[in-house]
Structure 1
């Protein structure tokens, strides 16, 4: 299980899976956000926040909402725009470093080939 929060603590998450790997993507959004994602099922993730604690940024194919804390500016997670979506991700840069230090980080070329490049 991974637990994390934004810098100010307004958004907390619990990721109840053991990720095989984490993903660092170089697409225009992820590169700028500085994220390292743990992808999983929304059924195994709990986001704890007030309803208006984040703002959602939607771009490109309009299928993902990147959620960012309105107070401290940390991007905490992305969720599918479609509430029936079966994948989401949490930003493991917001998890204590010791909790993710042994999990492999894979590099994904979201900017060009849409493939892992490691």
Structure 2
């Protein structure tokens, strides 16, 4: 099947949060760290400048811990974890979109890499 090249939208369960990206990433990351395994994170990474996030004003709850490097964002209405962003603004900033919020057909053909975030921080495949 040919890869989609047009913009794709990820939504939370209630539809209040919509994230538009240029295309579904060819490679997704499944991490087993303490937070990703609880959030069922399947991450697709994009340049922040290429991501459009639409949500009601104050429609997110954000969570960070320890060194507060990342802010994990979830819809305040339905609770779906939609993305994370780095708290410190960088020139080449990225946004990690939780790919479980794309329609399943959009993920066809994507490769899933397994990251050992619980121990070695190395890819297992």
Common fold by TM > 0.5: yes
**Gap regions ≥5 residues in structure 2:** 1-6
Query: Equivalent residue for 2:94?
Result: 87
Runs of 4+ in 1 over 6 A off after TM superposition: none
Q: Which of the two has higher C-alpha Rg?
A: 2
Provide the rounded CA distance (Å) in 1 between the counterparts of 2:115 and 2:95: 16
Q: What TM-score does the superposition give when structure 1 sets the normalisation length?
A: 0.93
Query: Equivalent residue for 1:40?
Result: 46
Aligned length: 118
Structure 1 residue 8: Cα displacement: 0.3
1:31 to 37, 42, 53: 37
1:116 to 94, 105, 123: 123
Q: Secondary structure at the match of 2:41?
A: coil
**Gap regions ≥5 residues in structure 1:** none
Residue 76 of structure 2 is aligned to residue 100 of structure 1: no
Provide the rounded CA distance (Å) in 2 between the counterparts of 1:23 and 1:107: 6
RMSD: 1.3
Q: What TM-score does the superposition give when structure 2 sets the normalisation length?
A: 0.88
Q: Secondary structure at the match of 2:10?
A: strand
